Amino acid sequence: MTTIIIGGVAAGMSVAAKLRREAKDETIIVLEKTDVISYGACGLPYYVSQENPDITNMNIRSVKQMRDSGIDVRIFHEVTQLDPFNKTIHGVNPEGTFSLKYDRCVIASGASPIVPKLSSKNKRKKSSH
């Protein structure tokens, strides 16, 4: 059985690691658009405050460590199309285009935040206490 995980940051790598522990014979492929995987976002405040000035300290495991544990991590692989009827993923990587078949697919690609437009009229007044 082959499971493809789209997204290699915290959620995707957590799924991959748990699946590897529970399904030893499973083929696990993680497709990550960038070269950053296994990123612990909870450490971001320490980096921003410069208590931890090295952003690489937020990386939990390297691509090599994940590959050594039996997880096929493919960086710079952007998924552009998901065909659930044919259980196929299509995308682009530095070499060109690719297509992969899967039995199961997990989408852990994150999201973009919605930033509301606020005017100064919406700001809270400071308390005089």
Three-class SS state of 92: strand
**What is the chain's Cα-based Rg?**
19
- The reply to whether the predicted model has a pTM over 0.75 is no
Q: Output the pLDDT for position 56.
A: 65
Give the pLDDT confidence of 104-127 residue by residue, as tens digits: 999 988 777 778 887 766 555 555
Domains and CATH numbers, the chain: 2-111 (3.50.50.60)
Contact between 12 and 41 (Cβ < 8 Å): no
